Structure 1
Amino acid sequence: MYTAVQMVRQALAHHGGHADIVELPDPAPTAAAAALQLGCEVGAIANSVVFSVDGAPLLVVVSGAHRVDTRRVAELRGVAHRRIRRADPDFVLRVTGQRVGGVAPVGHPSPLPTLLDERLGDYPHVWAGAGLPHTVFRTTCADLVRLTGAAPVAVGAD
């Protein structure tokens, strides 16, 4: 059986990713904690947040400097705002194979519909979760587009 990190590594390799997975000294369940350990701006952290839209998963990869604007997400998905709910930890684990605090944008049992924060493009490199709260990989917004199939859109609120 593959671990979450192995699934991420396999997904990166499958898509031609050249990112090395880095193990942080301490868990980094928040963008601020990850940025502190990596010595980068909090906005360069690509948070993978799972939502439920009427029971179906939706992954939103958002800059750590912003929170997800669920009204904007609902508009982009063409659904009523009340249909967008942040997924609970059990749902996240079931659809991603990863626990909250370490969710990666890739490496899930099945591909997830994904929205990608255009503000990640403001940084030459970004850091994304790699399956566990203390693992990350360095990438770019362009690579996240390629890896997830998501076009950058405005999903973050200040």
Structure 2
Amino acid sequence: MSLESVTRFFQDHAPDISVIVTEKSSATVALAAEAHGVKPEQIAKTLCARVGDRVILVVMAGTARLDNRKFKDLFGTKPRMLDAEEVAALTSHPVGGVCPFGLPQPIPVYCDLSLKAFDQVVPAAGAINAAVHIAPDRMVELTGAEWADLAQAPKPEADA
């Protein structure tokens, strides 16, 4: 059902974007990057968190990590990640295929600024072997998302 709802979402709202189904799993950032020939940070991973009595989705660069302080500053509470069953029940997407498209009911979406580093990102598309290639601003437009600064600052690389 999930892959179908995402495919239908794009047919209805962005027929120029095709859902890409791969033979191999793209359920992790590393697998998705390999399957789609992009850098791991270009994968747009979707996190599902509880904020008080509501649920939100946070979409961020694949290698980015959620900054608990930034999250608390924005939402007034620490992030509480949902378990796999809750995620599937609320989004209709399995873990590894979670995305902000084709949801059964509206869920607030926040896109982290880490996505702005790329012309195209690759979020999942409702299945562990499906994704789309999309410009970050277009994803925000299609999902009604808000931009937010929620990722930890990148650690400086050590001198070689």
TM-score (norm 2): 0.89
- What do residues 69-104 of structure 1 show as CA deviations (whole Å, max 9, x unaligned)? 233122222x222xx201001110111001111111
Which runs of at least 4 in structure 1 moved beyond 3 Å after TM superposition?
none
Q: Percent identity?
A: 27
- Following the alignment from structure 2 to structure 1, what is the Cα–Cα distance between the partners of residues 54 and 86? 10
| Unmatched segments (≥5 aa) in structure 2 | 155-160
Q: Does 1:113 align with 2:108?
A: yes
- Following the alignment from structure 2 to structure 1, what is the Cα–Cα distance between the partners of residues 90 and 150? 21
Q: Is the 8 A contact 2:25 2:128 kept in 1?
A: yes
Q: Does 1:103 align with 2:98?
A: yes
- Following the alignment from structure 1 to structure 2, what is the Cα–Cα distance between the partners of residues 15 and 74? 33
Q: Is the 8 A contact 1:12 1:147 kept in 2?
A: no
Deviation at 1:17, TM superposition (A): 4.8
Instruction: Tell me what 1:80 maps to.
Output: 77
Q: Does 1:56 align with 2:59?
A: no
- Following the alignment from structure 2 to structure 1, what is the Cα–Cα distance between the partners of residues 74 and 13? 26
- Following the alignment from structure 1 to structure 2, what is the Cα–Cα distance between the partners of residues 22 and 105? 16
- Following the alignment from structure 2 to structure 1, what is the Cα–Cα distance between the partners of residues 15 and 119? 16
SS at match of 2:133: strand
Cα RMSD after superposing both structures: 1.4
Instruction: Tell me what 1:23 maps to.
Output: 21
Deviation at 1:25, TM superposition (A): 2.1
Q: Does 1:9 align with 2:4?
A: no
- Following the alignment from structure 2 to structure 1, what is the Cα–Cα distance between the partners of residues 71 and 77? 10
SS at match of 1:94: helix
Larger radius of gyration: 2
- What do residues 41-79 of structure 1 show as CA deviations (whole Å, max 9, x unaligned)? 1111110110112342110001002122233122222x2
For structure 1, which segment, 39-48 or 144-153, has the greater mean C-alpha deviation from structure 2 after superposition?
144-153
Q: Is the 8 A contact 2:7 2:19 kept in 1?
A: yes
| 1:34 pairs with one of 27, 32, 35 | 32
| Unmatched segments (≥5 aa) in structure 1 | none
- Following the alignment from structure 1 to structure 2, what is the Cα–Cα distance between the partners of residues 9 and 58? 22
SS at match of 2:11: helix
Q: What amino acid maps onto 1:24 in structure 2?
A: T
Higher normalized strand content (fraction of residues)? 1
TM-score (norm 1): 0.90
Q: What amino acid maps onto 1:47 in structure 2?
A: K
